[in-house]
Amino acid sequence: MNAFYARFGLHRDDQPLLADNYALHAAGRRRWMTSYNTPMAANLAFIKYSCDGGDGDGLTAVTRRQHERVAAVINERVRPLPDCPGELLCPLERLIAAWTPLVEDCDVLRLCDG
C-alpha cells in the first residue's frame, strides 16, 4: 500500500522529512505516517460516479466520460486525490491525463521477469 501511495502522491507532506528539519516534523502531525496510513487492515477503493441526466440524455461516449467522477476511499474515508486538491469527486478525465504517464512508465515485463 505504501508503494502505491507514494507512486500516486498520496499523503505527501509539503516539506519532505530530512535530517535537518526533523524538529519541524516532530512538532506537528505529518501526512506521511505509515502507522496511521497503512494499519493492519489498510484498504483502498475507487468509486466511479456517472453524473449524467439519466436514460436517453443524448450524451455520447466522449461527453459521458466527461461527466464521470471518481472518489478515493482510503481506510473507509473519502479523501481528495493529489491531482484534484480540495475535491472529493475528481473528474475522470483529469485522472486519466495525470495517471497515463505513470501507467506508460510501468515496464511489466521487467517487473515480472523472474
CB atoms within 10 A of CB 57: 10
Domain range for 26: 1-39
Residues 57 and 106 in one domain: yes
Residues 52 and 72 in one domain: yes
Nearest-angstrom CA–CA distance, 40 and 57: 44
Nearest-angstrom CA–CA distance, 77 and 36: 13
Residues 71 and 100 in one domain: yes
Q: Could you list the pLDDT tens digit for every one of the 114 residues in the chain?
A: 998 888 888 888 888 888 888 887 777 778 888 888 899 999 999 999 987 655 555 556 655 566 899 999 999 999 999 999 889 999 999 999 999 988 888 887 887 875
Q: What is the pLDDT of residue 49?
A: 93
Residues 30 and 6 in one domain: yes
pTM value surpassing 0.85: no
The strand ranges marked E within 10-59 are: 44-50
Residues 64 and 87 in one domain: yes
Q: Which among 1, 22, 7, 20 is positioned nearest to 74, based on CA atoms?
A: 1
List residues bridging with 44 in a β-sheet.
74
Q: What is the pLDDT of residue 97?
A: 93
